[in-house]
Amino acid sequence: MSATIPVAETPLVRFLLGRADDALILGHRLSEWTGHAPILEEELALANIGLDLIGQARALYAFAAEAEGAGHDEDDYAYLRDEGQFRNLLIAERPRGDFADTMVRQALYAIYAEMFWQAASQSTQRELAGFAAKAAKEMAYHVRHAGTWVVRLGDGTAESHARAQAALDRIAPYLDEMFDAEDPSLAGIVPDVPALRPGWDGAVRALLEEAKLSLPDVPFPQRGGRAGRHGETLGHLLATFQHLHRSHPGATW
C-alpha cells in the first residue's frame, strides 16, 4: 500500500484543495451513473458534466502543487490523501441517490459554482482568474442542464414532484456550508464567498418556483467538509477510488 502524503497546507493550498476536491468528488459521483442513466442522452450529458468537473479538479490540483511546492502532483492529492485531508464541501460527497437527488444537487451546486468562478475571474492571481473564467462558462452549462431537469421533475408527474421535493429536503442541510468565508488572508485572490448568498438565494428561489418546489427550513445545517470532518459516505467513495492506485506503490499508469 502507498503511504498517505502529508500536505503543507497554507491558506492558499487549503483553498485550492478545497475547490479541487469539490470538483473531483462531485465528478466522481456523476461518473457513478455511467451505464445506468434513465435515458441515453443523459448518459452523455452526465459524463460530459463529470468530465468538466474532473478537468477542473486537475487544473486546481496543479495550482495547489505549485503553491505547496513540495513536488506533489494531481494524483498524489487525489489518491494519497486520507479522508480527513479532503477539503470538499459535504454537498459534493452526498450519495448519487436517484436521478432527482443527482439533478437537484447538481443545480444547486452549479448555480453557486458559476457565481463563485465568475467572481473569482476577477482574482488578483492571473492564472486563477483565467481558470475561473473558463470554469464559470462550464458551470453556466451545468446550471442550464440541471436546472431544466429540476423543472421537468418538479413540474412533471406526481411521482417526479415527490421525488424532487424529497431530494431537495435531503440536500438542504448541506447548502449553508457553501457560503462559509475563506481565510481572510486570501482577500483579493479569492472572492468574498458570503457575499454570493443573496444572488444565489434569488436564482434558486426563481428556479424552485418554476419547478413548484420549496426549500425546507433547515434547523441544523451541516458543515465541516472544509475542515476534513466528513459524513460516512466519503470513506467508501475513497476506498473505491483510491484502492488500485494505492495497491501499487510507485507504479506509473
Partner 1 sequence: MYTQGLVSIEGAGGAEEERFQARVDAEERIEPNDRMPEAYRRTLLRQISQHAHSEIVGMLPEGNWITRAPSLKRKAALLAKVQDEGGHGLYLYAAAETLGSSREEMVDALLEGRAKYSSIFNYPTRTWADIGAIGWLVDGAAIMNQIPLCRCSYGPYARAMIRICREESFHQRQGYEIMLTLCRGTEAQKAMAQDALDRWWWPCLMMFGPPDGESQHSDASARWKIKRFSNDGLRQKFIDATVPQAHYLGLAVPDPELRFDEASGHWHSGPIDWEEFRRVLAGGGVCNRDRLEARRRAHEEGAWVREAALAYAARQRRVAA
Contact positions vs partner 1 (CB under 8 A): 24, 28, 31-32, 34-44, 47-48, 50-51, 54-55, 57-58, 61, 74-75, 78-79, 98-99, 151-153, 155-157, 159-160, 163, 240-241, 243-245, 248, 250-253
Nearer to partner 1, 66 or 183 (CB): 66
CB of 16 to partner 1, least distance (A): 15
User: What is the C-alpha separation between 19 and 63, in angstroms, rounded?
Assistant: 11
Smallest gap from Cβ 44 to partner 1, in A, equals 5
Q: Cβ of residue 69: shortest distance to partner 1, in angstroms?
A: 20
The nearer residue to partner 1, 43 or 177, going by C-beta atoms, is: 43
Cα 22 → chain centroid? 3
* End-to-end Cα, the chain, rounded Å: 16
* Between 48 and 222, CB nearer to partner 1: 48
- Tell me the C-alpha distance between 112 and 115, whole Å: 5
Q: Name the residue nearer to partner 1 (CB basis): 4 or 222.
A: 4
Q: Which is nearer to partner 1, 99 or 174 (CB)?
A: 99
Tell me if 161 sits within 8 A of 155, measured CB to CB.
yes
Burial class (CB in 10 A: 0-12, 13-18, 19+), 16: buried
Short-list 31, 155, 177, CA closest to 108? 177
Q: In the complex with partner 1, which residue's Cβ is closer, 135 or 151?
A: 151
Largest CA distance in the chain: 54
- How many other β-carbons are positioned within 10 Å of the β-carbon of residue 28? 21
CB-based contacts of 102, cutoff 8 Å, min separation 6: 29, 30, 33, 46, 96
For the bound state, the minimum distance from the C-beta of residue 221 to partner 1, rounded and expressed in Å, comes to 29
Q: Minimum distance between the CB of residue 163 and partner 1, rounded to whole angstroms?
A: 7
CB of 195 to partner 1, least distance (A): 32
